[in-house]
Chain A
Amino acid sequence: MNAPAGLDLASIPERIQTEVQRAIQRSIKGVEYIASSGPSLGSTPKDILNVRGTMNLYHYRPIADEIYRVPILLVMATTNRGYILDMVPGQSFIEFLLKRGYDVYMLDWTAPKPEEKRLQMEDYVLDFIPDCVRRVQRDSGETDVTVIGYCFGGVLALLYGSIFADGPMKNLICFTTPVDFREMKLFQNFSDRRYFDVDRLVDSVGNVPPEMILSSFEMLRPASRAASQVQLWENIWNDEYVKSYRMFDRWATDTLPLAGEYFRAITKDLMWDNRLYNDTMSVGGRPADIAKIKVPFLHAVAEHDHIVPYDAAKPLIQKIGSADKEEVILKGGHVSLVAGANAIKRLWPKLDSWLCERST
Protein backbone atom coordinates (compact mmCIF):
# COMPACT_ATOMS: atom_id res chain seq x y z
CA MET A 1 0.00 0.00 0.00
CA ASN A 2 1.32 3.44 -0.87
CA ALA A 3 1.86 6.07 1.83
CA PRO A 4 -0.33 9.15 1.55
CA ALA A 5 1.31 12.07 -0.24
CA GLY A 6 3.62 14.04 2.05
CA LEU A 7 3.96 11.26 4.66
CA ASP A 8 7.56 10.23 5.17
CA LEU A 9 7.43 6.63 6.41
CA ALA A 10 11.06 6.68 7.51
CA SER A 11 10.31 9.42 10.03
CA ILE A 12 7.52 7.53 11.79
CA PRO A 13 9.68 5.60 14.32
CA GLU A 14 11.53 8.80 15.20
CA ARG A 15 8.24 10.61 15.69
CA ILE A 16 6.83 7.83 17.84
CA GLN A 17 9.96 7.89 19.98
CA THR A 18 9.65 11.65 20.48
CA GLU A 19 5.99 11.35 21.44
CA VAL A 20 6.70 8.52 23.90
CA GLN A 21 9.46 10.60 25.50
CA ARG A 22 7.11 13.56 25.73
CA ALA A 23 4.39 11.39 27.28
CA ILE A 24 6.86 10.25 29.96
CA GLN A 25 8.00 13.84 30.51
CA ARG A 26 4.37 14.95 30.80
CA SER A 27 3.80 12.55 33.66
CA ILE A 28 6.95 13.62 35.50
CA LYS A 29 6.55 17.36 34.85
CA GLY A 30 2.80 17.20 35.54
CA VAL A 31 3.55 16.12 39.10
CA GLU A 32 6.24 18.81 39.37
CA TYR A 33 3.73 21.39 38.11
CA ILE A 34 1.24 20.57 40.83
CA ALA A 35 3.89 20.40 43.55
CA SER A 36 5.80 23.59 42.69
CA SER A 37 4.93 27.25 42.79
CA GLY A 38 5.29 29.43 39.70
CA PRO A 39 8.14 31.81 38.91
CA SER A 40 8.60 34.84 41.13
CA LEU A 41 7.07 37.84 39.37
CA GLY A 42 7.59 41.58 39.73
CA SER A 43 11.02 41.17 41.29
CA THR A 44 12.91 44.11 39.73
CA PRO A 45 14.36 45.98 42.76
CA LYS A 46 12.15 48.89 43.74
CA ASP A 47 11.42 51.26 46.59
CA ILE A 48 7.91 51.93 47.78
CA LEU A 49 7.50 55.70 47.76
CA ASN A 50 3.93 55.83 48.97
CA VAL A 51 1.04 53.54 49.88
CA ARG A 52 -2.37 55.06 50.45
CA GLY A 53 -5.23 52.56 50.48
CA THR A 54 -5.52 51.04 47.02
CA MET A 55 -2.79 53.32 45.63
CA ASN A 56 0.88 52.25 45.56
CA LEU A 57 3.73 54.25 44.10
CA TYR A 58 7.00 52.47 43.37
CA HIS A 59 10.34 53.72 42.19
CA TYR A 60 12.51 51.18 40.37
CA ARG A 61 16.19 51.47 41.09
CA PRO A 62 18.06 52.75 38.04
CA ILE A 63 20.59 50.32 36.60
CA ALA A 64 22.16 52.46 33.86
CA ASP A 65 25.18 54.64 34.62
CA GLU A 66 23.49 57.63 33.03
CA ILE A 67 19.73 58.20 32.76
CA TYR A 68 17.43 60.41 30.69
CA ARG A 69 16.36 63.64 32.33
CA VAL A 70 12.60 63.02 32.21
CA PRO A 71 11.26 60.33 34.55
CA ILE A 72 8.45 57.95 33.54
CA LEU A 73 5.30 57.33 35.57
CA LEU A 74 3.50 54.13 34.53
CA VAL A 75 -0.21 54.12 35.35
CA MET A 76 -1.55 50.59 35.64
CA ALA A 77 -5.10 49.54 34.81
CA THR A 78 -7.27 49.40 37.93
CA THR A 79 -8.50 45.89 37.13
CA ASN A 80 -5.11 44.15 37.16
CA ARG A 81 -1.77 44.01 38.90
CA GLY A 82 1.22 45.96 37.64
CA TYR A 83 3.58 43.00 37.49
CA ILE A 84 2.43 42.31 33.92
CA LEU A 85 5.00 45.01 33.12
CA ASP A 86 7.62 43.31 35.28
CA MET A 87 7.30 39.55 34.74
CA VAL A 88 10.72 37.86 35.06
CA PRO A 89 14.25 39.03 34.21
CA GLY A 90 14.63 39.10 30.44
CA GLN A 91 10.86 39.45 29.98
CA SER A 92 10.27 42.59 32.00
CA PHE A 93 9.26 45.87 30.39
CA ILE A 94 10.44 47.73 33.50
CA GLU A 95 13.85 46.04 33.32
CA PHE A 96 14.03 46.94 29.61
CA LEU A 97 13.33 50.61 30.37
CA LEU A 98 15.89 50.66 33.18
CA LYS A 99 18.54 49.11 30.95
CA ARG A 100 17.80 51.68 28.26
CA GLY A 101 18.45 54.46 30.77
CA TYR A 102 15.01 55.58 31.93
CA ASP A 103 14.05 56.49 35.48
CA VAL A 104 10.87 54.50 36.12
CA TYR A 105 8.04 54.92 38.62
CA MET A 106 4.81 52.95 38.73
CA LEU A 107 1.37 53.76 40.05
CA ASP A 108 0.02 50.31 40.87
CA TRP A 109 -3.16 49.24 42.63
CA THR A 110 -4.08 46.77 45.34
CA ALA A 111 -7.59 45.55 46.07
CA PRO A 112 -9.69 48.41 47.47
CA LYS A 113 -10.93 47.57 50.97
CA PRO A 114 -14.68 47.51 51.71
CA GLU A 115 -14.42 51.01 53.21
CA GLU A 116 -12.91 52.26 49.92
CA LYS A 117 -16.11 51.50 48.01
CA ARG A 118 -16.81 55.24 47.98
CA LEU A 119 -13.72 56.03 45.89
CA GLN A 120 -14.86 57.89 42.81
CA MET A 121 -13.35 58.78 39.47
CA GLU A 122 -12.34 62.09 41.10
CA ASP A 123 -10.16 60.24 43.61
CA TYR A 124 -8.25 58.50 40.84
CA VAL A 125 -7.92 61.43 38.42
CA LEU A 126 -7.78 64.48 40.68
CA ASP A 127 -6.04 62.97 43.68
CA PHE A 128 -4.08 59.72 43.15
CA ILE A 129 -2.42 60.57 39.82
CA PRO A 130 -1.57 64.22 40.69
CA ASP A 131 -0.25 63.07 44.08
CA CYS A 132 2.00 60.49 42.38
CA VAL A 133 3.18 63.02 39.80
CA ARG A 134 4.14 65.43 42.62
CA ARG A 135 6.02 62.67 44.42
CA VAL A 136 7.84 61.70 41.21
CA GLN A 137 8.81 65.35 40.71
CA ARG A 138 10.06 65.61 44.28
CA ASP A 139 11.94 62.31 44.18
CA SER A 140 13.55 62.87 40.79
CA GLY A 141 14.11 66.61 41.14
CA GLU A 142 12.59 67.11 37.68
CA THR A 143 9.49 69.11 36.75
CA ASP A 144 8.65 67.18 33.60
CA VAL A 145 7.15 63.69 33.75
CA THR A 146 6.30 61.22 30.98
CA VAL A 147 3.07 59.34 31.69
CA ILE A 148 2.44 55.86 30.28
CA GLY A 149 -1.01 54.32 30.77
CA TYR A 150 -1.92 50.71 30.07
CA CYS A 151 -5.53 49.91 29.06
CA PHE A 152 -7.79 51.66 31.58
CA GLY A 153 -4.68 53.21 33.11
CA GLY A 154 -4.51 54.98 29.73
CA VAL A 155 -8.06 56.29 30.19
CA LEU A 156 -7.10 57.65 33.62
CA ALA A 157 -3.96 59.21 32.12
CA LEU A 158 -6.05 60.83 29.36
CA LEU A 159 -8.49 62.26 31.89
CA TYR A 160 -5.60 63.54 34.02
CA GLY A 161 -3.83 65.01 30.97
CA SER A 162 -6.93 66.76 29.71
CA ILE A 163 -7.71 68.36 33.08
CA PHE A 164 -4.08 69.28 33.85
CA ALA A 165 -3.30 70.28 30.28
CA ASP A 166 -0.85 72.97 31.39
CA GLY A 167 1.57 70.46 32.84
CA PRO A 168 3.65 68.92 34.22
CA MET A 169 3.07 65.99 31.83
CA LYS A 170 5.72 66.20 29.10
CA ASN A 171 4.85 63.14 27.00
CA LEU A 172 1.89 60.79 27.02
CA ILE A 173 1.95 57.17 25.89
CA CYS A 174 -1.13 54.97 25.91
CA PHE A 175 -1.24 51.23 25.35
CA THR A 176 -4.53 49.80 24.03
CA THR A 177 -6.67 52.59 25.43
CA PRO A 178 -10.36 52.71 24.53
CA VAL A 179 -12.18 55.97 23.88
CA ASP A 180 -15.22 54.87 21.89
CA PHE A 181 -16.93 52.54 24.33
CA ARG A 182 -19.74 51.75 21.87
CA GLU A 183 -17.20 49.66 20.01
CA MET A 184 -16.52 47.42 23.00
CA LYS A 185 -19.51 45.49 21.79
CA LEU A 186 -19.62 42.59 24.20
CA PHE A 187 -18.96 44.76 27.26
CA GLN A 188 -21.70 47.03 25.91
CA ASN A 189 -24.07 44.13 25.80
CA PHE A 190 -23.09 42.86 29.26
CA SER A 191 -23.83 46.33 30.64
CA ASP A 192 -26.92 47.07 28.54
CA ARG A 193 -28.74 49.75 30.53
CA ARG A 194 -32.11 48.09 29.90
CA TYR A 195 -31.07 45.02 31.87
CA PHE A 196 -27.98 45.88 33.90
CA ASP A 197 -28.91 47.64 37.12
CA VAL A 198 -25.54 49.07 38.13
CA ASP A 199 -27.05 51.01 41.06
CA ARG A 200 -28.54 47.86 42.52
CA LEU A 201 -25.28 45.96 42.05
CA VAL A 202 -23.07 48.62 43.66
CA ASP A 203 -25.56 49.32 46.44
CA SER A 204 -25.75 45.63 47.29
CA VAL A 205 -22.11 44.47 46.93
CA GLY A 206 -20.08 47.64 47.56
CA ASN A 207 -16.87 46.93 45.67
CA VAL A 208 -17.40 44.92 42.50
CA PRO A 209 -15.90 41.48 43.21
CA PRO A 210 -12.85 40.34 41.22
CA GLU A 211 -14.65 37.13 40.20
CA MET A 212 -17.17 39.24 38.32
CA ILE A 213 -14.44 41.22 36.56
CA LEU A 214 -12.60 38.00 35.69
CA SER A 215 -15.73 36.30 34.34
CA SER A 216 -16.54 39.28 32.17
CA PHE A 217 -13.03 39.08 30.64
CA GLU A 218 -13.25 35.31 30.23
CA MET A 219 -16.69 35.51 28.64
CA LEU A 220 -15.11 37.39 25.74
CA ARG A 221 -13.31 34.16 24.81
CA PRO A 222 -15.24 31.42 26.59
CA ALA A 223 -13.38 28.48 25.03
CA SER A 224 -9.89 29.83 25.50
CA ARG A 225 -9.33 28.74 29.10
CA ALA A 226 -10.19 25.10 28.31
CA ALA A 227 -8.10 25.20 25.11
CA SER A 228 -5.13 26.70 26.93
CA GLN A 229 -5.27 23.92 29.51
CA VAL A 230 -5.20 21.31 26.74
CA GLN A 231 -2.22 23.13 25.22
CA LEU A 232 -0.53 23.25 28.62
CA TRP A 233 -0.86 19.47 28.99
CA GLU A 234 0.57 18.93 25.51
CA ASN A 235 3.52 21.21 26.23
CA ILE A 236 4.12 20.37 29.86
CA TRP A 237 7.41 18.70 28.90
CA ASN A 238 8.62 22.11 27.71
CA ASP A 239 9.90 24.12 30.71
CA GLU A 240 9.88 27.46 28.86
CA TYR A 241 6.26 26.99 27.76
CA VAL A 242 5.19 26.07 31.30
CA LYS A 243 7.02 29.04 32.80
CA SER A 244 5.36 31.41 30.35
CA TYR A 245 1.92 29.79 30.87
CA ARG A 246 2.20 30.09 34.64
CA MET A 247 3.27 33.74 34.49
CA PHE A 248 0.43 34.83 32.24
CA ASP A 249 -2.18 32.59 33.84
CA ARG A 250 -1.33 33.86 37.31
CA TRP A 251 -1.54 37.46 36.15
CA ALA A 252 -4.76 36.97 34.18
CA THR A 253 -6.56 35.39 37.13
CA ASP A 254 -5.15 37.88 39.66
CA THR A 255 -7.93 40.37 38.96
CA LEU A 256 -8.68 43.22 41.35
CA PRO A 257 -12.08 44.28 42.65
CA LEU A 258 -13.23 47.71 41.57
CA ALA A 259 -14.33 50.42 43.98
CA GLY A 260 -18.14 50.59 43.79
CA GLU A 261 -18.64 54.29 43.03
CA TYR A 262 -15.79 54.26 40.53
CA PHE A 263 -17.40 51.29 38.74
CA ARG A 264 -20.74 53.11 38.74
CA ALA A 265 -19.12 56.13 37.06
CA ILE A 266 -17.36 53.97 34.46
CA THR A 267 -20.62 52.22 33.60
CA LYS A 268 -22.74 55.35 33.40
CA ASP A 269 -20.33 57.91 31.94
CA LEU A 270 -18.28 55.71 29.65
CA MET A 271 -20.21 52.54 28.84
CA TRP A 272 -23.66 54.09 28.65
CA ASP A 273 -23.12 57.73 27.69
CA ASN A 274 -19.78 57.33 25.89
CA ARG A 275 -18.77 60.72 27.28
CA LEU A 276 -15.07 60.51 26.49
CA TYR A 277 -15.86 60.01 22.81
CA ASN A 278 -18.67 62.60 22.82
CA ASP A 279 -16.44 65.24 24.45
CA THR A 280 -18.85 65.61 27.37
CA MET A 281 -16.75 63.90 30.02
CA SER A 282 -16.10 65.71 33.28
CA VAL A 283 -14.48 64.60 36.51
CA GLY A 284 -15.44 66.32 39.74
CA GLY A 285 -17.15 69.04 37.71
CA ARG A 286 -13.99 69.74 35.66
CA PRO A 287 -14.36 69.18 31.90
CA ALA A 288 -12.05 66.51 30.54
CA ASP A 289 -11.71 67.12 26.83
CA ILE A 290 -8.88 65.09 25.31
CA ALA A 291 -8.49 67.67 22.54
CA LYS A 292 -6.83 69.86 25.19
CA ILE A 293 -3.89 67.47 25.46
CA LYS A 294 -1.07 69.00 23.41
CA VAL A 295 1.99 67.04 24.56
CA PRO A 296 3.78 64.53 22.29
CA PHE A 297 1.59 61.44 22.15
CA LEU A 298 2.08 57.79 21.19
CA HIS A 299 -0.72 55.24 21.08
CA ALA A 300 0.19 51.56 20.71
CA VAL A 301 -2.67 49.27 19.79
CA ALA A 302 -2.85 45.54 19.11
CA GLU A 303 -4.17 44.11 15.88
CA HIS A 304 -5.97 41.20 17.59
CA ASP A 305 -7.08 42.81 20.83
CA HIS A 306 -10.27 41.07 22.01
CA ILE A 307 -10.64 43.22 25.15
CA VAL A 308 -10.18 46.66 23.57
CA PRO A 309 -11.02 46.13 19.88
CA TYR A 310 -9.16 48.42 17.51
CA ASP A 311 -12.38 50.30 16.64
CA ALA A 312 -12.72 51.33 20.30
CA ALA A 313 -9.14 52.67 20.41
CA LYS A 314 -8.90 54.09 16.88
CA PRO A 315 -10.53 57.53 17.38
CA LEU A 316 -8.03 58.52 20.07
CA ILE A 317 -5.34 59.58 17.62
CA GLN A 318 -7.76 61.90 15.81
CA LYS A 319 -9.30 63.33 18.95
CA ILE A 320 -6.16 64.17 20.88
CA GLY A 321 -4.97 67.76 20.49
CA SER A 322 -1.24 67.00 20.14
CA ALA A 323 0.54 68.06 16.96
CA ASP A 324 3.30 65.51 17.58
CA LYS A 325 1.28 62.28 17.67
CA GLU A 326 1.63 58.76 16.36
CA GLU A 327 -0.37 55.56 16.41
CA VAL A 328 1.34 52.21 15.99
CA ILE A 329 -0.62 49.06 15.26
CA LEU A 330 1.33 46.01 16.26
CA LYS A 331 0.69 42.32 15.86
CA GLY A 332 -0.57 40.57 18.98
CA GLY A 333 -3.35 40.77 21.51
CA HIS A 334 -4.22 42.91 24.51
CA VAL A 335 -1.59 41.35 26.77
CA SER A 336 1.01 40.12 24.28
CA LEU A 337 1.31 43.72 23.06
CA VAL A 338 2.99 44.74 26.32
CA ALA A 339 4.49 41.51 27.70
CA GLY A 340 6.13 38.37 26.39
CA ALA A 341 8.19 37.52 23.34
CA ASN A 342 6.00 39.54 21.00
CA ALA A 343 6.41 42.73 23.03
CA ILE A 344 10.18 42.30 23.34
CA LYS A 345 10.45 42.20 19.53
CA ARG A 346 7.89 44.84 18.64
CA LEU A 347 6.55 47.30 21.20
CA TRP A 348 9.51 47.86 23.51
CA PRO A 349 12.07 48.88 20.85
CA LYS A 350 9.46 51.09 19.15
CA LEU A 351 8.64 52.81 22.41
CA ASP A 352 12.32 53.35 23.22
CA SER A 353 13.08 54.88 19.84
CA TRP A 354 10.08 57.24 20.18
CA LEU A 355 10.62 58.19 23.80
CA CYS A 356 14.39 58.62 23.98
CA GLU A 357 14.22 61.64 21.64
CA ARG A 358 11.61 63.23 23.92
CA SER A 359 13.19 62.46 27.29
CA THR A 360 16.09 64.90 27.37
Chain B
Amino acid sequence: MADKSNDPVAIWQNMIGEMEKGFNSFANKAMESPEFSRVVNQVGGVSAGAQKQLGELMEKYLLTMNLPSRAQMVSMAERLQSIEAQLNEIKALLHQVHHNSGAPDGGYPAAPRPPRTRRPPSSGGEQK
Protein backbone atom coordinates (compact mmCIF):
# COMPACT_ATOMS: atom_id res chain seq x y z
CA MET B 1 0.00 0.00 0.00
CA ALA B 2 1.29 3.48 -0.85
CA ASP B 3 2.29 5.64 2.05
CA LYS B 4 0.03 8.52 3.07
CA SER B 5 2.19 11.18 1.45
CA ASN B 6 1.44 9.77 -2.00
CA ASP B 7 -2.11 8.57 -1.45
CA PRO B 8 -4.38 10.97 -3.37
CA VAL B 9 -7.34 10.24 -1.09
CA ALA B 10 -5.28 10.90 2.03
CA ILE B 11 -3.92 14.09 0.44
CA TRP B 12 -7.46 15.24 -0.35
CA GLN B 13 -8.68 14.46 3.18
CA ASN B 14 -5.69 16.21 4.68
CA MET B 15 -6.29 19.23 2.46
CA ILE B 16 -9.94 19.46 3.54
CA GLY B 17 -8.86 19.23 7.19
CA GLU B 18 -6.23 21.93 6.76
CA MET B 19 -8.63 24.19 4.86
CA GLU B 20 -11.20 23.80 7.61
CA LYS B 21 -8.64 24.66 10.30
CA GLY B 22 -7.28 27.59 8.30
CA PHE B 23 -10.67 29.07 7.54
CA ASN B 24 -11.90 28.62 11.12
CA SER B 25 -8.78 30.25 12.47
CA PHE B 26 -9.01 33.14 9.98
CA ALA B 27 -12.72 33.66 10.68
CA ASN B 28 -12.15 33.54 14.44
CA LYS B 29 -9.51 36.26 14.16
CA ALA B 30 -11.91 38.39 12.12
CA MET B 31 -14.72 37.76 14.62
CA GLU B 32 -12.59 38.98 17.52
CA SER B 33 -12.71 42.53 16.19
CA PRO B 34 -15.12 45.10 17.66
CA GLU B 35 -16.21 46.02 14.12
CA PHE B 36 -17.50 42.50 13.62
CA SER B 37 -19.49 42.68 16.85
CA ARG B 38 -20.95 46.06 15.88
CA VAL B 39 -22.01 44.92 12.40
CA VAL B 40 -23.38 41.55 13.54
CA ASN B 41 -25.38 43.08 16.35
CA GLN B 42 -26.74 45.85 14.13
CA VAL B 43 -27.85 43.34 11.54
CA GLY B 44 -28.98 40.84 14.18
CA GLY B 45 -30.96 43.44 16.11
CA VAL B 46 -32.74 44.62 13.01
CA SER B 47 -33.40 41.11 11.76
CA ALA B 48 -34.66 39.86 15.15
CA GLY B 49 -37.13 42.75 15.33
CA ALA B 50 -38.18 42.26 11.71
CA GLN B 51 -38.50 38.51 12.18
CA LYS B 52 -40.72 39.03 15.20
CA GLN B 53 -42.96 41.48 13.32
CA LEU B 54 -43.08 39.21 10.28
CA GLY B 55 -43.93 36.24 12.51
CA GLU B 56 -46.82 38.14 14.09
CA LEU B 57 -48.05 39.25 10.68
CA MET B 58 -47.88 35.71 9.32
CA GLU B 59 -49.74 34.40 12.34
CA LYS B 60 -52.58 36.86 11.69
CA TYR B 61 -52.56 35.97 8.01
CA LEU B 62 -52.71 32.22 8.69
CA LEU B 63 -55.49 32.79 11.19
CA THR B 64 -57.48 34.65 8.54
CA MET B 65 -56.84 31.82 6.08
CA ASN B 66 -57.99 29.32 8.72
CA LEU B 67 -54.57 27.63 8.65
CA PRO B 68 -52.38 26.57 11.59
CA SER B 69 -49.30 28.67 12.36
CA ARG B 70 -45.82 27.23 12.97
CA ALA B 71 -46.22 27.82 16.71
CA GLN B 72 -49.43 25.82 16.70
CA MET B 73 -47.77 23.01 14.74
CA VAL B 74 -44.82 22.98 17.17
CA SER B 75 -47.23 22.92 20.08
CA MET B 76 -49.11 20.04 18.44
CA ALA B 77 -45.83 18.18 17.87
CA GLU B 78 -44.95 18.63 21.53
CA ARG B 79 -48.35 17.28 22.57
CA LEU B 80 -47.80 14.31 20.27
CA GLN B 81 -44.39 13.75 21.86
CA SER B 82 -46.00 13.86 25.26
CA ILE B 83 -48.66 11.35 24.13
CA GLU B 84 -45.88 9.13 22.74
CA ALA B 85 -44.07 9.35 26.07
CA GLN B 86 -47.23 8.37 27.90
CA LEU B 87 -47.78 5.47 25.49
CA ASN B 88 -44.25 4.34 26.23
CA GLU B 89 -45.07 4.51 29.91
CA ILE B 90 -48.17 2.38 29.36
CA LYS B 91 -46.10 -0.07 27.30
CA ALA B 92 -43.55 -0.25 30.11
CA LEU B 93 -46.29 -0.86 32.67
CA LEU B 94 -47.83 -3.57 30.50
CA HIS B 95 -44.42 -5.12 30.13
CA GLN B 96 -44.02 -5.07 33.89
CA VAL B 97 -47.47 -6.58 34.36
CA HIS B 98 -46.61 -9.30 31.88
CA HIS B 99 -43.45 -10.11 33.81
CA ASN B 100 -45.34 -10.24 37.07
CA SER B 101 -48.23 -12.26 35.65
CA GLY B 102 -47.94 -14.65 38.57
CA ALA B 103 -48.68 -11.78 40.94
CA PRO B 104 -50.95 -12.27 43.96
CA ASP B 105 -54.64 -11.30 43.89
CA GLY B 106 -53.96 -8.01 45.62
CA GLY B 107 -52.57 -6.60 42.36
CA TYR B 108 -49.25 -6.28 40.68
CA PRO B 109 -46.37 -5.03 42.78
CA ALA B 110 -44.02 -2.39 41.41
CA ALA B 111 -40.72 -3.71 40.04
CA PRO B 112 -38.46 -4.28 43.04
CA ARG B 113 -35.54 -1.89 43.29
CA PRO B 114 -32.10 -3.41 43.72
CA PRO B 115 -30.54 -3.03 47.18
CA ARG B 116 -28.31 0.02 47.74
CA THR B 117 -25.50 -2.04 49.15
CA ARG B 118 -22.97 -1.97 46.33
CA ARG B 119 -19.35 -1.37 47.35
CA PRO B 120 -16.55 -0.06 45.15
CA PRO B 121 -14.34 -2.78 43.64
CA SER B 122 -11.30 -1.60 45.65
CA SER B 123 -13.09 -2.23 48.96
CA GLY B 124 -13.96 -5.79 48.09
CA GLY B 125 -17.05 -5.02 45.98
CA GLU B 126 -17.32 -6.87 42.73
CA GLN B 127 -17.66 -5.07 39.39
CA LYS B 128 -20.68 -6.65 37.76
Contact = CB atoms under 8 A, between A and B. Distances in A.
A234 interface: yes
Nearest to A4: B6
B38 A195 contact: yes
A201 interface: yes
B1 A11 contact: yes
Main secondary structure of the interface of B (DSSP, over half): helix
Interface in A50-68: 51, 61-62, 64-68
Nearest to B85: A48
B73 interface: no
A190 B111 contact: no
A240 interface: no
Nearest to A63: B114
A224 B16 CA distance: 10
Contacts of B105: none
Q: Mostly helix, strand, loop or mixed at chain A's interface?
A: loop
Contacts of B122: 357
A359 B119 CA distance: 8
Contacts of B44: 201, 212
A219 B41 contact: no
Interface in B74-128: 74-75, 78, 82, 85, 89, 92, 111, 113-123, 125, 127-128
Interface in B18-52: 19-20, 23-24, 27-28, 31-34, 36-38, 40-42, 44-45, 48-49, 51-52
Nearest to A12: B2
Nearest to A68: B118
B56 to A, nearest CB: 11
Given A6-B3, A45-B92, A66-B117, A189 B37 contact: yes
A197 interface: yes
Given A6-B5, A48-B85, A186-B32, A195 B16 contact: no
Contacts of A142: 116
A192 B114 contact: no
A196 B37 contact: yes
A8 B1 contact: yes
A345 interface: no
A200 B128 contact: no
A227 B22 CA distance: 12
Given A195-B42, A356-B121, A65 B89 contact: no
A185 interface: yes
A284 to B, nearest CB: 28
Contact of B120 (A12, A205, A356): A356
Given A8-B3, A201-B44, 4 more contacts: A61-B111, A190-B31, A195-B34, A357-B123
14 contacts: A6-B5, A45-B92, A62-B114, A67-B115, A69-B116, A185-B32, A189-B34, A194-B37, A197-B45, A201-B48, A223-B20, A223-B23, A224-B24, A226-B20
